[in-house]
Structure 1
Amino acid sequence: MPGGDVTQRWEVHGAVQGVGFRPYVHRVATALGVGGEVRNIGGHVVITASAHPDVLARFHRTILDRTPPPAMVERIDVTTLKSPRKSRRFSVRDSVSRAGPRIVPVDLTTCAPCLEELFDPADRRYRYPFLNCSRCGPRATIVEQLPYDRVRTAMNRFPMCDRCAGEYHDPTDRRFHAEPIACPRCGPRLSWAGRTGEEALAAAVTTIGDGGVVAIKGIGGYQLVCDATNDQAVGRLRAVKHRRGKPFAVMVADLREAAGQAVVDGPAARRLESVARPIVLLPKRPGTAVSGAVAPRLPEIGLFLPNSPLHHLLLHDLGRPLVVTSGNLADEPITVSDEHARASLGPVTDGILGHDRPILTRNDDSVMRAGRLIRRARGYAPDPLALPVPSPRSVLALGAHLKNTVTLAVGDRAVISPHIGDLAKAGSVDAFERTTRRLCHWLDVTPEFCAHDLHPRYHSTSHAANWPSERRIAVQHHHAHVAAVAAEHGVDEPFIGVAYDGLGLGDDNTLWGGEVLLATYTGYRRLGRFGRVALPGGDVAVRRPDRMALGYRFGAEDFGADRLPQPPETRESALVRRMIERRVNSPLTSSAGRLFDAVAAMLGLCDENSYEGEAAILLEAAASGEPTGDPFTWNLHRRDGLWVYDPVPTLRELLGSGDSPVPRLAARFHATIAEVTVALVSEASATGGSRTVCLGGGVFQNDRLTTSVTDSLTGLGFRVLTGERVPVNDGGISFGQAAVAAALLTGRSTSCA
């Protein structure tokens, strides 16, 4: 060995498994003449490298700074070994399982070289729907166990042919250690009613082209597909899904087609083309061929680009945009089982385009708006996030009742599951149980503690009841919302949390939802809220914005001002009045979300929600394109030591605005809530001293409100944060619970006095 050479052991942390990182390391090492090896060990990659120190320094810089995406190196821990190796050969070794944190690789969209092969008639994988390489293809959805190697994936049932095996073992090949590697000779095959391969695909293409609805087996579950330009096909799909008004997502072939359907600026283009391939909500272009039934009454459309070879083939062969939506009925979780697809989707569709590669973990499409994730699923989950306070014990956080996710916290990392859904039906509960088990199995962790919501009727809370009481950590819903935002951004000091959502149980056993808190991860102090209102009929009022409007007319918290004008009496309004007066099934809530519902009903936009949040979405849509305008009248009062926003003056002025256009009134209402929020935050800051503000809760999916609040507070010198990689809605609750539990388990306590 030349004099001066040394041997180092590098432990590489980050997104370095299942992303072509080991082949990349091999290529760089070989080019530089570095000897040694690289292998997966537990959740990291370990490199043993021998060379002159100057060469090793260059090797280190290249690996740290120039690793191509989707791999991402966070840090490299270096140890110099006492006994230098003498080999100049560099090899990729088999993975080694080891206790400790593990990384589950996310599913990756088809890369450019594979896409070129897909449409190259001379290539042996021409039009093969399952081609992939070390930098693309399914990952999380086919993993059975870690570390990530073919023998521990759903591909284990497909023995490689000689040519695929040669590529898999060739360090110079793009498919070197590409675990899902396959070709038409040895890999999965499409199927359709007894037909396979190209015949199956052709049958599906013909059916969709003729206006049919087809179930296809995607990466993370079955999807329902139809022609997005065909009004009748879209209407048929709505009937199949029992989906009256909720918008559908549209898949387009490329960025050029996306720009033909919506306004696509630079940041939007980068999101659309990212390896995660999320659905991105964008402003519609008028007069496009896409059916108006795709996103009725909304100024935005959800677009995404193909994320698998099969999607590329469908779009290529049909030559038109396609509605591609979750393969489920009503509020059930996305279907992954072939048997369940035949039983539930078969009878209501015109055919099923399936295949024989199992989906081991469901993973729906991710959804993004204005650069912020609304649904964290395929392409993002289960990528780990850092915890601001490392957890000394493993914690399973069970999330909320709606938009459920679960999070497993181990050390300084938290792994959020893919989106599960609403735990109101047996299918969703089963998906919750399966996802919880699989997450623990993946990471080889038996959780020592669980974190859960306060609400006793949530299924996630019922699940926590199976744990010993000393192993349960209850986390208040709105504290979890704002803690999720703070944790995502690494906030390490007391902060002002603004939590606006539908409903969550408060620590006083009332229903909260319009809250301003002075918080740390270990506790909070409630400093402000919205005025309370009766929720006539309980859950019925959540579904019925017109009921909420009556709740404000008859049961708004009294601050001594004139009440709202009374509506003409009907049978229902008389019933609601009696319910409120007699306090029959009419709990009080301080919910901001329910106020948005009531205003939508008062403006004639939505009397009954056909999907969660519809009224608020239509209210924001009504304000689209309108200038900010003057806020309505609003008042803050001191009550029981809190600053309380009284919405009655706001609603009285809105109802008395005569013939003012609805868009104008909707814009003024948004301006009012933004101004109220700034006032509440300013009072909270004067009390608690913090200048950091975390905006959490589903209401902050409203981009108009979020932008207005952020701009105003930033102008006043506040640091304003909201969820970006973690949804601000209930999909982020489990991450917030994990952050709170981790901090509590350290024994670290920060005063919120």
Structure 2
Amino acid sequence: MRIRVDGIVQGVGFRPFVFGLAQSLSLAGSIVNDLRGVAIEVEGIVSHIAEFRARVVSEAPPLASIQNVISESIPIANRSVFEILASHADGERDVLVSPDIATCADCLREIFDPMDRRYRYPFTNCTNCGPRFTVVRGVPYDRSLTTMAEFPLCADCAREYHDPSNRRFHAEPLCCPACGPSVRLLDRNGIAQADDPIRKAAELLSSGKVVAVKGLGGYHLAALASNENAVKLLRSRKHREDKPFAVMAPNLESARALATIDALEERALTSPRRPVVLLNRRPDSDLAHSVAPSNRFIGVMLPYTPLHHLLCESVKAPIVFTSGNVSDEPIAYTDDDAAKRLSPIADYFLIHNRQIHIRTDDSVVRVSRGREVPQRRSRGYAPQPVELPLKARRPILACGAELKNTFCVAKRQHAFVSHHIGDLENFETLRSFREGIDHFRRLFDVNPAIVAFDLHPEYLSTKYALDLKGVEFVGVQHHHAHIAACLADNGDQGPSIGVAFDGLGFGLDGTIWGGEFLIADLAKFERVGHLEAVPMPGGTAAIKQPWRMAGSYLRKAYSESENVPAHLEVAERNAHQWPQISALMKSRVNSPLTSSAGRLFDAVAAILSVRDAINYEGQAAIELEQLAAVGEDDAYEVAVPAAIPFELHGAALVRGVVDDLRAGSSVDVVAARFHNSIALMIVNACDTIRTARGLAQVALSGGVFQNQLLLERTVRLLEQAGFRVLTHRQVPTNDAGISFGQVAVAAARDCAARCQGGGLVQWEPF
């Protein structure tokens, strides 16, 4: 029998597993890596072959991800042994590449065993763990096509590498102290500091120094998480005023001292992917205030490389581990770049000489409604594909959005969503975006025939797309991409009611959308409702200064004769600019209209004195959510029209907030009632659409639904009202999921074009 196995089956111990299984069943034949996966040939007793075929799937190594198995009978070749053959590199590449995997228990035991030859060696790995995606230059996954090619194996490692019974058989990053990479500790002038770099780095961290640490997918900046002065110093140097830092805890027990952790959160923390997990912070933890100011959540991760384990074991305390960059830039991943960009921030550098081929930031997840939900999908997840609910007829590249950018390439059923790129607002991030696309195209052998992009003409991702030659273009409206991503993430093609709430997206009418009710399938959509548009006084300044949106909504909510806004604290705090903003709105100069739900949250946050200006995206809304009183169920009345299309009056909600506040209600109660009102408004609006069109499924997407209070209350109310509710599962609900939605839309339109015998359409309403 010839058996083809496609999926993530290279670099995960699949060949030695198959070798051992064949030997145990007295089967002869061979297995080989090729550009699609693995090809197996076996001959022997028929019942043994049948058992082999079944167990190849049922007992596959834990890191394997089998996508497809095809078997056929072939003539007997009278072979006497089972062999592992040299890899084939002919034909079209269609192999899947494993994400990077956290250190396994076996390797961890060796690292801390004084009698083992890999004792305290920070690059210990095997077929069950270690670097994958970050070191791969090409496929098939062989050492010669990784950044480990420059480290020839010593005799001992070579014996392990060539022994099919050894767990390091063909572990491509295999090495030891005699033949592998090494670690050095440098000061910011590049001068070596110690014979035991890791222990010395631990001492420096414990004394309050900031250390840049070269990890798996790039550099981190580290500081002792309990040292307020050290964390404040890191914030100041990194120019990151308020956004929370992630913390690496030495072990699970230490993590429990920082936050409450349930069973699902523990599973996420300890999984081989090792993401940062957003947890409820313990008020009695010894974390410095500056780690996560004004935030009741804390991002916690456990060590995921031997170097991290050794560093944490020496420090014996939680360490701030934040991306090695200045705010808004991509993480540094080459030594020269790190020395240039991080020297003003770090006092010392803990580096190594294993090259990182592709920079990959940490992933961030949270547990919501009984499952792990990605907030940022990167290390440990990328480039594992997300399955499309329909096959892409031709190869597709989707360029994503401007903020939280990812790109996506698609080939047949597989959509390869990239690692986190970041905000495309500077040259460094744009270069990372371009380099990432080139790498994915080579790695997965994708030569796109179709390129999908956001309709915003000023997005750098859109400009990149439109500069490409010899391709067909598909422009995808931002909020349609959100809903398509949610549908495809659930294996659904629609049609569905779609609720897309976010900060901004370019609308078809030239205004800025963001509080949208759609009827959508993967190919097309219709805007059937939205929040009423209000001016953004000062344009983009209103995004960074929520008090401006408070002024806009208050002007909408109250007549001039009522004169309520002038007596509110938000107006008094900003009295020197308040008349100017009013004049801007009246003249409509530099005051684009927006239906954005994100801007409505900003307005209420400013009215409740949560925040007048933000230091990172979504800060006002995040702090408003955390302010909300637990257990409060009341809501304000918001009229929802009984027919479509409709407009919902956010100003009525603002009036409810102000009237409640003036009546003496506490700000935490008002914040909770506002959230309840938004959830109730969504449900009533969806009920109007159901009555009009007969649809009973709702897809929720957009960055506003990262708000767990809003999401959970909205889902509960929708389900109580008889709706089937779809939320994101594998790709983030924020703009990091846009590229996946663009791919789904482009694939669906291409399939529709083939069926109809016409060309691709840019967009089409129901």
1:308 corresponds to which of 305, 309, 314: 305
In structure 1, give the amino acid aligned to 2:7: G
Distance 1:76 1:486 in 2: 27
Q: Deviations over 1:45-82 (max 9, x none)?
A: 2211222221122112212122231212233111111x
Q: Are 1:15 and 1:73, in contact at CA under 8 Å, matched by a contact in 2?
A: yes
- Contact 1:190–1:197 (Cα < 8 Å) also in 2: no
- Who is 2:646 aligned against? 643
User: Secondary structure of 2:584's match?
Assistant: helix
Aligned-partner residue type, residue 5 of structure 2: V
Q: What's 1:409 paired with?
A: 410
In the TM superposition, 1:560-575 aligns within 5 A as: 565-567=565-567, 568=571, 570-575=575-580
Q: Deviations over 1:259-295 (max 9, x none)?
A: 2211111100100011110000011112111112211
Distance 1:275 1:562, change over 3 A: farther
Superposition map of 1:234-313 within 5 A: 234-313=231-310
Q: What amino acid is aligned across from residue 345 of structure 1 in structure 2? A: L
Kept in 1: contact 2:477–2:506 (CA 8 A): yes
- The secondary structure found in structure 1 opposite 2:165 is coil
Code of the aligned partner of 2:598: G
- Whole-angstrom CA distance in 1 between matches of 2:171 and 2:317: 32
Match of 1:89 among 76, 81, 86: 81
1:362-381 to structure 2, matched below 5 A, reads: 362-370=359-367, 371-381=372-382
Distance 1:562 1:417 in 2: 52
Partner of 2:759: none
**1:81-230, aligned counterparts within 5 Å?**
81=74, 83-97=75-89, 98-193=91-186, 194-195=191-192, 199-230=196-227
Task: In structure 2, give the amino acid aligned to 1:686.
Answer: T
Asked if 1:325 is matched to 2:330, the reply is no
**CA–CA separation in structure 2 for the residues paired with 1:182 and 1:470:** 44
Deviation at 1:391, TM superposition (A): 1.1
Give the SS at the match of 1:311.
Answer: helix
- Is residue 391 from structure 1 mapped to residue 392 from structure 2 by the alignment? yes
Matched, 1:622 2:627: yes
Letter in 1 for 2:617: E
Aligned residue identity for 1:65 = S
Give the aligned partner of residue 334 of structure 2.
337
**8 A contact 1:279–1:366 mirrored in 2:** yes
1:349: Cα distance to partner? 1.2
Distance in structure 2 (CA, Å) of the matches to 1:565 and 1:536: 16
- 1:92 is displaced (CA, Å) by 1.8
After TM superposition, give the deviation of residue 565 of structure 1 in Å: 3.7
Task: Report matched runs for 1:528-567 at 5 Å.
Answer: 528-555=529-556, 565-567=565-567
Offset at 1:382? 0.9
CA gap 1:516/1:563 in 2 versus in 1, 3 angstroms: farther
Give the C-alpha shift of residue 365 in structure 1.
0.3
2:194–2:200: 8 Å Cα contact kept in structure 1? Answer: no
d(CA) in 2 for partners of 1:169, 1:557: 78
* 2: CA distance, partners of 1:352 / 1:566: 53
Matched residue SS, 2:343: helix
Match of 1:5 in 2: none
Q: For 2:493 and 2:743, how far apart are their aligned partners in 1?
A: 15
Partner-residue secondary structure (3-state), 1:632: coil
Counterpart-to-counterpart distance in 2, 1:435 and 1:198: 36
Q: How far off is 1:95 after superposition?
A: 1.9
- Structure-2 change in CA distance of 1:340 and 1:494 (3 Å): same
Contact 1:190-1:196 at 8 Å conserved across structures? no
- Residue identity opposite 1:212 in structure 2: K
State how far apart, in whole Å, the 1-side matches of 2:193 and 2:151 are: 17
Letter in 2 for 1:156: A
Task: Compute the displacement of 1:198 (Å).
Answer: 5.3
Distance in 1 (alpha carbons) for counterparts of 2:218 and 2:275: 15
Q: 2:739 aligns with which of 734, 739, 747?
A: 734
Q: Secondary structure at 2:743's aligned position in 1? A: helix
Letter in 2 for 1:396: L
Give the deviation of 1:578 after TM superposition.
Answer: 0.9
TM-score of the two chains, using structure 1 as the length reference: 0.96
**Counterpart-to-counterpart distance in 1, 2:447 and 2:564:** 55
**1:581-620 pair list within 5 angstroms:** 581-620=586-625
CA distance in structure 2 between the partners assigned to 1:662 and 1:37 by the alignment? 70
Query: CA separation in 1, counterparts of 2:704 and 2:582?
Result: 28
- Of the structure 1 ranges 681-690 and 303-312, higher mean CA displacement relative to structure 2 is found in 681-690
Label 1:581 to 1:104 Cα distance change in 2 as closer, same or farther (>3 A): same
Retained in 1: the 8 A contact 2:202–2:314? yes
Residue 582 of structure 2: aligned partner: 577
Moved more, 630-639 or 473-482: 630-639
List runs of 5+ in structure 2 lacking aligned partners: 757-763
The Cα shift of 1:443 comes to 1.4
Question: Which letter maps to 2:502?
Answer: D
* RMSD over aligned Cα atoms: 1.9
Deviations 1:285-314 (A, max 9, x none): 121111122111111111111110000001
Q: Is the 8 A contact 1:189 1:197 kept in 2?
A: no
Change (3 A) 1:34 1:732: same
Aligned residue among 342, 347, 362 for 2:344: 347
Three-state SS of the structure 2 residue aligned to 1:517 is strand
Correspondence 1:54 to 2:53: no
Q: Match for 2:92: what amino acid?
A: A
Deviation track 1:451-481 (CA, whole Å, cap 9, x = no partner) reads: 0000000000111121359611100000000
Aligned residue in 2 for 1:4:
none
Query: Aligned residues: percent identity?
Result: 43
1:699 aligns with 2:704: yes
Deviation, structure 1 residue 579: 0.8
* Aligned mates of 1:480, 1:12 — CA distance in 2: 33
**Once the two structures are superposed, what CA deviation does each residue of 1:589-617 show, in whole Å capped at 9, x if it has no partner?**
10001111111111111111100110111
| 1:84-134 deviation per Cα after TM superposition (whole angstroms, max 9, x unaligned) | 132242222222223042312210000000000010000000000000000
Kept after mapping to 2: 8 A contact 1:500/1:700: yes
- Give the partner amino acid of 1:464: A
CA distance in 2, matches of 1:563, 1:421: 43
Q: 1:563 to 1:726 in 2, by over 3 A?
A: farther
Whether the aligned pair in 1 keeps the contact of 2:558 and 2:564 (CA below 8 Å) is no
- Per-residue CA deviations over 1:342-394 (Å, capped at 9, x if unaligned) read 11112321111111111110100000012210000000011111111211111
Shift, 1:562, TM fit: 7.9
CA contact (8 A) 1:189 1:196 kept: no
Q: Tell me: CA distance 1:471–1:224, structure 2 relative to 1, closer, same or farther (3 Å).
A: same
Distance in 2, matches of 1:35 and 1:355, equals: 43
Contact 1:553 1:563 in 2 (8 A): no
Bigger shift: residues 441-450 or 540-549: 441-450
Given that residues 638 and 644 in structure 1 are in contact (C-alpha distance below 8 angstroms), is that contact kept between their aligned partners in structure 2?
A: no
The C-alpha deviation readout for 1:624-671, integer Å capped at 9, x for no partner, is x511321112122479x5222112222112112233222111111110
SS of the residue corresponding to residue 635 of structure 1 reads coil
Residue aligned with 2:646, SS: strand
Q: Which amino acid aligns with 1:710?
A: V
Q: Which amino acid aligns with 1:615?
A: A
Q: Which moved more, 1:276-285 or 1:60-69?
A: 60-69
Q: CA deviation at 1:556?
A: 6.6
Corresponding residue number in structure 2 for 1:724? 729
Secondary structure of 1:616's aligned partner = helix
Q: Please state whether the residue corresponding to 1:373 is helix, strand or coil.
A: strand
